[in-house]
Amino acid sequence: MKKEYTSIKFDYNNMMSTYVGAEQGITDKELAGTKNLAVQAHTYFKLNRGTGMMGWSELPYNQAEVVKDIMNTAKIVRRNCDAFVVLGIGGSALGPMAVFQALCHLRHNELKRNQRKAPKFYVEDNVDPERMASLLDILDLDKTVFNVITKSGSTSETMSQYLIIMNILKEKYGDKANEHIIATTDAKNGNLIKIAKKENLKTFIIPDGVGGRFSEICPVGLFPAAVLGIDIKEMLKGCAHMDKLCRKSDIKSNPALAAAALQYLAIQKGKNISVMMPYADSLKLMADWYCQLWGESLGKAVNNKGEKVYVGQTPVKALGVTDQHSQVQLYTEGPFDKVVTIIGVENYRKEVVIAGGCEDFPSVSFLSGHTLNELITSEMYATEYALTKNNRLNNMITLPEVNAHTIGQLMFFFMLETAYIGAMFDINTFNQPGVEEGKNATYALLGRAGYEEKAAELKARPQKSENYII
């Protein structure tokens, strides 16, 4: 019998003027007015999916072979090692971390080996020397496998980590160092594929048309997830499920297209901030993953016509209920410059009852007998209410429960929403030209050959004034 899947739900009532007030809210007429734009965006996606930098859109369907390879390798790694370390940054780190947090025990690394049934998991996505030294302090290298991930094979941060780790492994294990490193990179381009061949590393390939921030559902994310015992086939089925829900070009039925159209309108109304606020610790890092997807895809100086547009909406990660005690004051009383997206969970995987014991104190004891589940859910609806009452645009995505299938749905929802809204803005959603300037300046500052001109440019900057340094 075929398993019945429940879909995640997108509720945008509180984006609309009926609920959030006429001054801030979106009217039915305005929403209807995006019809042509929405149809165009949907058509563009439909016609181009699977091609160019939209290769990622076919990943739910074309990975049967590589999933087999991933599962076989993961099985061996799970059996042989006690720590699995991703060396990667950006998209090579954010997806693996988000899925780990969503689908493993929240204190996974601190469980005993027989409780966790998978290696400890680390993602090193920075080059802070204190951080690298700290990691080396706690690893038992004999039982550690590293997964170095970079599509270009030339990411300075990741390749620096590779050099450091490979050197340690070679000193310790000589010819057998390669048993401790697995590479994930492009099939042809860049250095890492060549190095992997030379060093005889087990290698997974990042398919064409899959940029970093769209790579969680290719081997970049699937292999770490499989090592952790996550059902990656279910994740991919969840993606396909969402893809199917978004097949139509009608914003009334396509949730990702509706979400894109609403954000498009909100941006026109001056909402330059998008807050992503899950009410679940398991989804905290999903907000981080979203922040890269949204920020890097939409933050563009020029559109496809070459006109200067300087578009983008700044993503902000928040966590319910925690940030009610940090950010919600600003969200309800500050400038009208945000859209808040709440992510709710219908069924948490645990239930915790709030005990009695303070019967003399009614303002505490009213909590007794309720569950934390009720408390966090009530607070979520209370925040939704407070935002709405204060005329703040908000919407809610609800997961029936956090599992591999709904996580697949959620990630694909955001990827589709991003692709659609990028098309609405007529920008290149899939490049990141603004990162080049910093990269080249770094090369120049480190004295890399070929960057003498950039070094001269840096040297020619107006000198800083001591008056402006206190």
C-alpha to C-alpha distances, 17 to 25, 38, 61, 264, nearest whole angstrom: 4, 20, 40, 16
> Does residue 27 touch a second copy according to CB under 8 A?
no
- Within 193-212, which residues bind a second copy (CB under 8 A)? 194-195, 198, 212
> Does residue 449 touch a second copy according to CB under 8 A?
yes
Nearest distance from C-beta of residue 205 to a second copy, angstroms: 19
The mark string for 333-352 relative to a second copy (x by CB under 8 A, - otherwise) is: xxxxxx---------xxxxx
The mark string for 246-265 relative to a second copy (x by CB under 8 A, - otherwise) is: ------xxxx--x-------
Nearest distance from C-beta of residue 376 to a second copy, angstroms: 5
The mark string for 128-157 relative to a second copy (x by CB under 8 A, - otherwise) is: xxxxxxxx-xx---------------xxxx
> Does residue 164 touch a second copy according to CB under 8 A?
yes
Candidate ranges 41-49, 59-67, 221-229, 275-283; the one touching a second copy (CB under 8 A): 275-283
Q: Which is nearer to a second copy, 43 or 326 (CB)?
A: 326
Residue 166, both tokens: 């490979």
> Does residue 268 touch a second copy according to CB under 8 A?
no
> Does residue 455 touch a second copy according to CB under 8 A?
no
Residue 267, both tokens: 């941006």
* Residues sharing a CB contact under 8 Å with residue 249, sequence separation 6 or more, in sequence order: 38, 39, 42, 43, 46, 257
- Within 372-401, which residues bind a second copy (CB under 8 A)? 372-376, 378-379, 381-383, 385-386, 389-390
The phi and psi torsions of 459 (rounded to 5 degrees) equal -65, -30
296 has catalytic annotation? yes
Nearest distance from C-beta of residue 120 to a second copy, angstroms: 8
The mark string for 81-100 relative to a second copy (x by CB under 8 A, - otherwise) is: --------xxx-xx------
* Residues sharing a CB contact under 8 Å with residue 384, sequence separation 6 or more, in sequence order: 14, 342, 394, 396
Q: Is the CB of residue 94 less than 8 Å from the CB of residue 292?
A: yes
> Does residue 174 touch a second copy according to CB under 8 A?
no
Q: Which is nearer to a second copy, 437 or 453 (CB)?
A: 437
Give me the catalytic one of 325, 350, 459, 464: 325
Q: Which DSSP symbol is given to 371? A: B
Paired with 396 in beta bridges are 11, 342
- Within 278-297, which residues bind a second copy (CB under 8 A)? 279-282, 288, 291-292, 295-296
Nearest distance from C-beta of residue 68 to a second copy, angstroms: 30
> Does residue 326 touch a second copy according to CB under 8 A?
yes
Give me the catalytic one of 234, 296, 384, 417: 296
Q: Is the CB of residue 404 less than 8 Å from the CB of residue 67?
A: no
The mark string for 102-131 relative to a second copy (x by CB under 8 A, - otherwise) is: ---xxx-xxx---x---------xxxxxxx
Q: Tell me the three state secondary structure of residue 171.
A: helix
C-alpha to C-alpha distances, 182 to 210, 266, 375, nearest whole angstrom: 19, 44, 44
Q: Which is nearer to a second copy, 74 or 103 (CB)?
A: 103
> Does residue 36 touch a second copy according to CB under 8 A?
no
Q: Tell me the three state secondary structure of residue 392.
A: coil
Mode of pairing for the β-strands spanning 144-149 and 120-124? unpaired
**CA nearest 58: which of 205, 296, 236, 259?**
236
Q: How many CB atoms lie within 10 A of CB 67?
A: 16
Q: Is the CB of residue 58 less than 8 Å from the CB of residue 49?
A: yes
> Does residue 441 touch a second copy according to CB under 8 A?
yes
C-alpha to C-alpha distances, 9 to 2, 343, 425, nearest whole angstrom: 21, 10, 25
Burial 421-454 (b: 16+ CB within 10 A, else e): bbbbbbbebbeeeeeeeeebeebbeeeeeebeeb
How far the first Cα of the chain sits from its last, in Å, is 71
Candidate ranges 15-23, 57-65, 140-148, 416-424; the one touching a second copy (CB under 8 A): 15-23
The phi and psi torsions of 30 (rounded to 5 degrees) equal -60, -45
Candidate ranges 65-73, 219-227, 232-240, 310-318; the one touching a second copy (CB under 8 A): 310-318
Q: Which is nearer to a second copy, 1 or 469 (CB)?
A: 469
Give catalytic residues, as residue numbers: 296, 325, 439
